[in-house]
Amino acid sequence: MKPTKGFVRKIPLYFILVGNLVTTALFQNCGKEVFETASPKASTGELWPSTETLNSVSLLTLGKTYYVSKTGSDSNIGNTINKPFKTIAKGVAALKPGDTLYLRAGTYTEFINLVRPTNKSGTATAWVTIAGYPGETVIIKPTETREAASGAIIARGRVSYVVFRNLVIDGTNMANKTGWQIRDGNHHFILDKIEIKNQKFNGLLIGAKNIVIKNSKIHSAKSVCGCPHERWYGIYLANGADVIIENTEISNNPGGGMQVYPGPLNNVTIRNNSIHHNNYLLSSPVPGILVQVYLTGSYIRDVQIYNNIIYGNGMNKPSGPGTGGSGGIKIVNGVENVKVWNNTVYQNRSYGVLLTGTYPSVPKNTYLQNNIFYANTLGQIYLANGIGTISTNNLTTDPKFVNASANNFRLTSSSPAVNKGASLSSIFKTDILGVLRPKGSAYDIGAYESY
């Protein structure tokens, strides 16, 4: 058997034959525990696949497949579509590494509990998958009366090698400060086609390694008190390593779109996302994307932010005295090696991009290239301080979008952003929609490659 075409060279592909089951393994050295509660090393030494690898081959092994349906019965065998289990708990209890659990259409008031009574992890060569059945809408909407509980997905801790796919997580009936937390030993999670909404908490709180969030929607979190300690974000990435957030829409959350803070954290990729109309609280200064490290005792390094559209953040704040800004992108204190490439940052309240810090803890080796920063309320690029900052090929005048009022940020043929970008082909070769760059003589500036 030959590896699938397009694999990244340094990621080995193994085919393991067990009886009549073929397992595809993509990871090296992944069997060991990689979460560290104190100070993670700068690199785990593990190989985490690129988007191209993730999308070119299924991570599912060919173990058993189980089904749950609102019309099923827990006395059924559960492993045929015509004789499904009735409860999620029964389906989860049956899972072993390599297995898949499909939930049929409907609204479920159960939790998905992978912790009790037994841990339901996969392995490096046999991931567990929990998914809504293809083409059907599956809503997970349990009731939780305890504050600061685990949320609809109870998987926090030493659960690993799990794929969650095609699920809607509705936090309407959750208590305050309760939501999905990926931390305390979690590693190797993939969330694909997940919608998270209505939580009185962050959409996701992540403190873990080897996490992929893709093709998802995270929106409409609620702040009960509207105060600073409840300014919830779409994603709060607190610490860890090797995290990819891509092709995801993050919108209408009270605090901000994405907070990357306080570390320690390294190797983060934020790409091809739409982050808009977050931060409507008077008390929150958090922008579309914040990357900020503690002044001392921590680190955040090697963060790539590219092909994102970031717009309207902070624009729904109340008006009047004391109304704070938020902006598009903020890079704060001694973060290192943050690369901001080919983003479209439009009409956010405050600056398009702000670099600042408290000396000597200032941003180091920040790259700002090929970005559109336009119509942000306080200014477009504000480099308050920093060491080794490179800012080139950015556009701060009218980019001549097709229709910004309809959120169409593609470029017209007369745009000054067309064919004016620096070549970044050694890093990425496509735009936010997967269109190959460049179409013309050079990269277009901004998230879209138009001409």
Q: pLDDT tens digits, residue range 34-72? A: 222 222 233 333 344 554 445 444 555 579 999 999 999
Instruction: State the pairing for strand pair 401-403/187-197.
Output: unpaired
CB atoms within 10 A of CB 72: 19
pLDDT at 30 over 50: no
Q: Which two tokens stand for residue 116?
A: 């009790």
Model confidence at 26: pLDDT above 80: no
* Beta-ladder partners of 264: none
Q: How far is CA 156 from the centre of its chain?
A: 17
* pLDDT score, position 181: 97
Q: Half-sphere exposure of residue 153, counting CA atoms within 13 Å on the CB side?
A: 30
Angle at 319 between CA 315 and CA 321, to 5 degrees: 130
Question: Which H/E stretch holds residue 88?
Answer: helix 88-94
Confidence of residue 398 (pLDDT cuts 50, 70, 90): very high
Residue 92 has pLDDT above 70, yes or no: yes
Give the C-alpha separation, 244 to 251, whole Å. 18
Rounded percentage of the chain residues whose pLDDT exceeds 90 = 78
Instruction: Identify the residue whose tokens are 């969030």.
Output: 213
In a 10 Å sphere around its CB, with 0-12 CB exposed, 13-18 middle and 19+ buried, how is residue 448 labelled? buried
- What is the Cα–Cα distance from 355 to 290, expressed in whole angstroms? 10
CA 400 to chain centre: 29
Q: What is the mean predicted confidence (pLDDT) over 106-119? A: 96
Amino acid letter for position 403: N
Helix (H) or strand (E) holding 94: helix 88-94
- Helices marked H in 119-276 — which ranges? none
129 close to 95: Cβ distance less than 8 angstroms: no
pLDDT over 50 at 120, yes or no: yes
Tell me which residue of 26, 32, 59 sits closest to 45, measured CA to CA: 32
Q: Is the pTM of this model over 0.85?
A: yes
Those residues with Cβ within 8 angstroms of residue 319's Cβ, 6 or more apart along the chain or in another chain: none
Identify the pLDDT of residue 296.
82
